[in-house]
Amino acid sequence: MVKTLNLAHISRFVRQATITCLLMYLATVTTAHGFSVTVDRQVVPMNETIRLEITSLNGDSPDNIDLNVLEEAFTVIKESSRNSISIFNGKTESVKKRVVIITPREVGKVLIPELQLKKERSQAISITVIKAAPVPSQMDNNKVMLESEINQTTTIVGAQAIYTLKIIYQIQLNNAEISPLSIADADIVPLDNKNYTRQINGSNFDVTEKRYAVFFNRPGKKIIDGQQLTALTTSRQSRLFGYDPFSRGKELRLKAQPVEINVLVKPNAGQSSPYWLPSSDLSIVSSFNNTPMVVRVGEPLSRTVEITAVGLAAERLPFTLSIATDTINSYAEKPEFVNQTFEHGVAGRRKDTIALIPTVEGLITLPSIELQWWNTKENRFELATVEQQIINVLPAKDSVSTGNNSIPSANDPYQKSSVPIHDVTNAIDDPINPWMISSLMLTVAWLLTYYLLSNKESHQPPPPDANIKENINQLKINLLKACQKNNAAEAKQALNVFLSNYNDTVRSSIYSDKVTDPSLASLASADQGELNNAIERLDYYLYAHRSDESEKSSRVPWDGKPLKMAIEHFVKEEKSVPHRKETLAPLYPK
Give the CATH number of the domain where residue 159 resides.
2.60.40.740
Give CA angle at 119 (114, 125), nearest 5°: 15
- Each residue's pLDDT, cut to its tens digit, for the chain (590 residues) gives 444 444 454 456 545 554 444 444 444 445 445 788 998 888 888 767 888 998 888 778 888 888 888 888 888 888 888 888 777 666 777 788 889 988 888 899 999 988 888 878 888 899 999 887 666 777 777 889 999 999 999 999 999 999 999 999 999 888 899 999 999 899 999 999 988 888 788 888 899 999 999 999 999 999 999 999 999 886 544 344 445 555 556 888 899 999 999 999 998 877 778 889 999 999 999 999 887 889 999 899 999 999 999 999 999 999 988 765 788 888 889 999 999 998 889 999 999 999 999 999 999 989 899 999 999 999 999 999 999 989 999 998 876 544 444 444 444 444 444 334 344 344 444 555 677 788 888 888 888 888 888 776 555 555 555 566 677 888 888 888 888 888 888 888 888 888 877 766 555 444 444 344 444 444 444 445 778 888 888 888 887 654 445 555 556 788 888 888 888 888 877 666 554 444 444 545 44
* Same domain flag for 82 and 155: no
* Same domain flag for 482 and 520: yes
* Same domain flag for 8 and 110: yes
Looking at 179-280, which runs of residues are DSSP E strands?
Answer: 186-190, 194-200, 203-216, 220-224, 228-233, 250-255, 259-264, 278-279
Among 195, 230, 203, 194, smallest CA distance to 141 is for: 203
φ, ψ for residue 493 (rounded to 5)? -65, -45
Strand partners, 389: 366
Give yes or no for a cis peptide into 292 (omega within 30° of 0): yes
Asked whether residue 209 is assigned to any structural domain, the reply reads yes
Looking at residue 386, its pLDDT comes to: 93
Asked whether residue 445 is assigned to any structural domain, the reply reads no
C-alpha 100/C-alpha 115 separation (Å) is 13
φ, ψ for residue 47 (rounded to 5)? -100, 15
Q: What is the bridge-based pairing of β-strands 43-45 and 125-130?
A: parallel
* Same domain flag for 126 and 149: no
Residue 68 DSSP label: G
- The tally of domains found in the chain comes to 4
* Same domain flag for 321 and 357: yes
Looking at residue 404, its pLDDT comes to: 46
Residue at which a domain ends, from 103, 130, 157? 130
Among 393, 385, 332, smallest CA distance to 362 is for: 393
* Same domain flag for 209 and 297: no
CATH number where 21 lies: 2.60.40
Phi-psi region of 293 (alpha: psi -120 to 50; beta: other; left: phi over 0): beta
* Same domain flag for 120 and 150: no
The helix or strand, by DSSP H or E, that contains position 508, with its residue range, turns out to be helix 506-510
Looking at residue 463, its pLDDT comes to: 54
* Same domain flag for 90 and 189: no
C-alpha 226/C-alpha 166 separation (Å) is 11
Among 326, 298, 291, 289, smallest CA distance to 400 is for: 298
* Same domain flag for 234 and 197: yes
φ, ψ for residue 357 (rounded to 5)? -125, 110
* Same domain flag for 88 and 12: yes
Residue 62 DSSP label: G
Residue at which a domain ends, from 130, 160, 180? 130
Residue at which a domain ends, from 96, 130, 164? 130
Reduced to 3 states (helix: H, G, I; strand: E, B; else coil), residue 489 is helix
Residue 203 DSSP label: E
Among 117, 156, 118, 131, smallest CA distance to 43 is for: 131
Residue 572 DSSP label: H
* Same domain flag for 11 and 104: yes
Q: What is the bridge-based pairing of β-strands 362-366 and 389-394?
A: antiparallel
C-alpha 62/C-alpha 82 separation (Å) is 10
Asked whether residue 427 is assigned to any structural domain, the reply reads no
Looking at residue 311, its pLDDT comes to: 94
C-alpha 36/C-alpha 98 separation (Å) is 11
C-alpha 533/C-alpha 158 separation (Å) is 120
The model's pTM = 0.49
Asked whether residue 230 is assigned to any structural domain, the reply reads yes
Give CA angle at 557 (553, 561), nearest 5°: 170
Strand partners, 372: 383
C-alpha 187/C-alpha 567 separation (Å) is 109
- Work out the number of other CB atoms within 10 angstroms of the CB of residue 169: 21
Looking at residue 431, its pLDDT comes to: 52
Residues 452 and 446 sit within 8 Å (Cβ to Cβ): no
Among 74, 83, 64, 75, smallest CA distance to 125 is for: 74
- Work out the number of other CB atoms within 10 angstroms of the CB of residue 328: 17
* Same domain flag for 151 and 249: yes
Looking at residue 66, its pLDDT comes to: 86
Asked whether residue 421 is assigned to any structural domain, the reply reads no
Residue 431 identity (one-letter amino acid): P
Asked whether residue 302 is assigned to any structural domain, the reply reads yes
- Work out the number of other CB atoms within 10 angstroms of the CB of residue 146: 23
What is the domain extent for residue 333? 281-394
Contact residues for 504 (Cβ-Cβ < 8 A; gap 6+): none
Asked whether residue 561 is assigned to any structural domain, the reply reads yes
Asked whether residue 586 is assigned to any structural domain, the reply reads no
Q: Give 3-state DSSP helix, strand, coil % of the chain, rounded to 5.
A: 30, 35, 35
